[in-house]
Structure 1
Amino acid sequence: MLTFIFYFFIAIFVVQISYYLGVFGKFAFAKPQEITQKNLPVSVIVCAKNEEENVQKFIPLLAEQNYPDFEIVLIDDASSDETLEIFEQFEKQYSNIRLVKVQNNEAFWGNKKYALTLGIKASKKDYLLFTDADCYPTSTEWITAMTSQFTLNKTIVLGYGGYEKSDRSLLNKIIRFETVLTAIQYFSWAKIGRPYMGVGRNLAYKKEEFFNVNGFIEHIQVRSGDDDLFVNQAANKHNVTISYDPESFTYSKPKESYKEWFSQKRRHVATANYYKVFDKIQLGVFYTSQLFFFLLVILLLAFQFQWIAVIALLATRYTIAWIVVGFSAGKLRENDIKVWFPVVEIVLIFTQINIFITNIFSKPVHWK
């Protein structure tokens, strides 16, 4: 029996190494990107619901972008705070701001996709650049950096949306590591030619891509997924590229309690159930192989079966994974999380199990 378990452990080891070197290495060892300003007409789209504090701080950062041809489409999704009033002030202050006021609709109440659809239809530019109301760009060259990756054929650009750093918080490191790992995955699969998701905190596409798939209509009943489900549906190996120059990053404030973050991840995992079959399988195989790898290490070492080989494979796996994660984190300017890799990986593995079990018995809450 232990012999069978050992050979199964070797198979799991091969799967893990295949992911880290064969897939994730595509991004980890990619060359730095060049930014060439293309001056494409861009509509920056921000949808907000009860975000008065964030929009007050961050909308001016968008308005001050160093770019010759852009507008900002501000969508107020029936906010009950002062968000709409702040948006109206910005509309008067900046000539390139367009305001879309969304009223509660019985059929689409609380559905962010409905609000975004109205904003997209109201936009006047051919290229759309999305970020969330609680996000801000790293520089005044954000629009330039993201749109520089558009070509005649590449009409969807996947960007990186990171989180602010807090040195004294382990939860902050866990959240940021999970964000980096997610980015490694969707950047790498996009480079391979199997794009499966993007993040609404930093995503761009040509407007025609939205109408080519009839917008969000195929998954309008799913409250989340205006970003990843859209990309999963519209993206292919021909029309997707990625942007990972630091000038193209956006940041936002992470959750400050494990409970809040856990609820957020529950929504993300639930949305992934609507991915294409291949994408669900590849994600499932990776996370399952992660779990089995560590469980089998513990089991085999507990019985001291082939313990030298087990430790050697464990060390090899960690070395390769650490190198790949390290190079990727460096590209994403998240160098400090490399040190915490062994700890936060274990935490994430068991968090994923907890999320999976919790989602079986209750549905997560979505848009505000």
Structure 2
Amino acid sequence: MSLQKVYIPLATRTSQYIMAEILMTDALLSHYASYENCYREISKLVFQLAEKEDLHNIHVIANDKLPVVRFHTEAYCFQTAEQILFFYNPAYHEAQNLFFQPDYKARKLRLLFLATGKEIRANAANFHNRVNAVLNGVLDNLPEQELKVKVRDHQHMAYDLFARAKGEKKTYGYKLRDIYQRYKSRRCKLPEDHSSLAYVTVSLPLSRRLKQSVLEEEHTEDFSPLYQFLEDKFRSAAAGKQLHRTAMVANGLMPLVRNSKFEKVESTAEAQMIGFDPTATDAQFVSHWDGGNLVESVHFLLVAGKEDYTEPGYGRYMNQVEAALKDFAEAIGLDPERHELVLRFHQHISYKR
């Protein structure tokens, strides 16, 4: 039974956010005096309905920028040309914001709901139900009916793979059930026609010691040997634990994983889109790095396939992932007592309503 659970530190950070994308049609916009008027009226409606559902961290995005959510002890919000980065602590931070450009016609109106509280994973289904109640109210009160809406539920768990080596002995066993089945048992019904994905990401800072251990000269213009060394060790460790959907990104872009069976995968100037089909039987490895560009961190991804899910959850898969990453860390000379290797387990589910 222990193989069906993964035991992770009690200090693990959990987060959840739900994004609803509403297609901004000309028919909908025709009911408002201006783009700005449309965005303000809809956001006012969203905030009012969210208050009734006891939801206190909501953002309406009308500039077509992609939201990226991260944990932080302080609340911050930064915008780039393509993204809006939200940093927050679910236990404390609340916010209500509207992001727009007055004369800009958004392709999509994104409603972003960030989960708050201390028992995020335990209350995930309840949070999803309350967000859906808000969406029902929004769609019922908009002047245009039959709008196309896509809902994306994102859940993350993050912890240091070497926490035990640093003295953190207390752990909790997780089965890591599939979102659809977990919600079903908690009276949160999702459409059978949905897309789901589970994967792990790890970011490895390129320390001076690591670079010097591989590169012959401290000042070099070709970092290919370093990247090839990391790629070889990572692929070998993953293959040794029968993990066959992996990726390495070292080009300075933020990796974003998509289900290629359902979504079109297109990279941008800031994001490296990576598509995996969890139902495909062939091994899949994706690599994006440039030997002439030295990045601060290298990103490694391990994506779960259909065969990696065994009842009652992803526990067995995560044990394989942890074992592979520990082998990888040893192969590249990381010291568990001195270094930190943060593992992030992602579960996503999306559907149209």
TM-score scaled by length of structure 1: 0.27
TM-score scaled by length of structure 2: 0.28
Q: Which structure has greater strand proportion?
A: 2
